Amino acid sequence: MGSIDTTGYNFTAGPETVSFDSFLFDMDGTIIDSTAAVEKHWEGIGNDIGVSPEIILQTSHGRRTIDMLRILAPEKATWEYVQSREGLLPKLYGSDAVEIPGARPLLDSLIALSAPWTIVTSGSLPLVSGWLKVLDLPTPEHLVTAESVQNGKPDPACYLLGREKLGESAGQGKEVLVFEDAPAGIKAGKAAGCKVVGLVTSHSVEEVLAAGPDWVVKDLTQVKVVRREGDGKVVLEVGGLLVRN
Residues with a catalytic annotation lie at 26, 28
Answer for the pair 7, 244: CB distance below 8 angstroms, yes or no.
no
Closest by alpha carbon to 222, among 197, 245, 196, 244? Answer: 197
The burial of 116, by beta-carbon neighbours within 10 Å (0-12 exposed, 13-18 middle, 19 or more buried), is given as buried
Say which residues have a Cβ less than 8 Å from residue 88's Cβ, sequence separation at least 6. Answer: 41
First to last CA, the chain: 24
* Euclidean distance between CA atoms 87 and 81, whole angstroms: 10
Closest by alpha carbon to 97, among 119, 67, 130? Answer: 130
Q: How many CB atoms lie under 10 A from the CB of residue 101?
A: 14
3-state secondary structure of 188: helix
